[in-house]
Amino acid sequence: MEFRVDDRVREIISKEGKDFRVCTTCGGAVILPVEAKSPKESDHIVNIGDNTLFISAVQAQHIQEITEEMFFRSICSNF
């Protein structure tokens, strides 16, 4: 499966310097640091520089593009 990752998402992940996961909330897909939502073996993996973006198998069925709006802003410090 292939996903389009917005350049701004790549920039934010690089600035944060840690791994993130696209997961499901009652409001839809959200990007959280893995410290808040651990990756699962079933996740899809997208390498972003030295970091990894994990995409839940559930969300992978519904999304094709990962955008900045998916970040849960109160947890991320550098944007």
The CA distance from 65 to 77, in Å, is: 23
pLDDT digits (tens, 9 = 90+) for 40-79: 999 999 999 999 999 999 999 998 899 999 986 545 555 4
Can you give the pLDDT at residue 76? 53
Is the full-model pTM beyond 0.85? yes
Provide the 10 A C-beta neighbour count for residue 31. 26
Domain boundaries defined on the chain? 4-70
Task: Tell me which of 3.40.50.410, 3.20.20.80, 2.60.300.12, 2.40.50.140 is the CATH number of domain 4-70.
Answer: 2.60.300.12
The CA distance from 49 to 19, in Å, is: 10
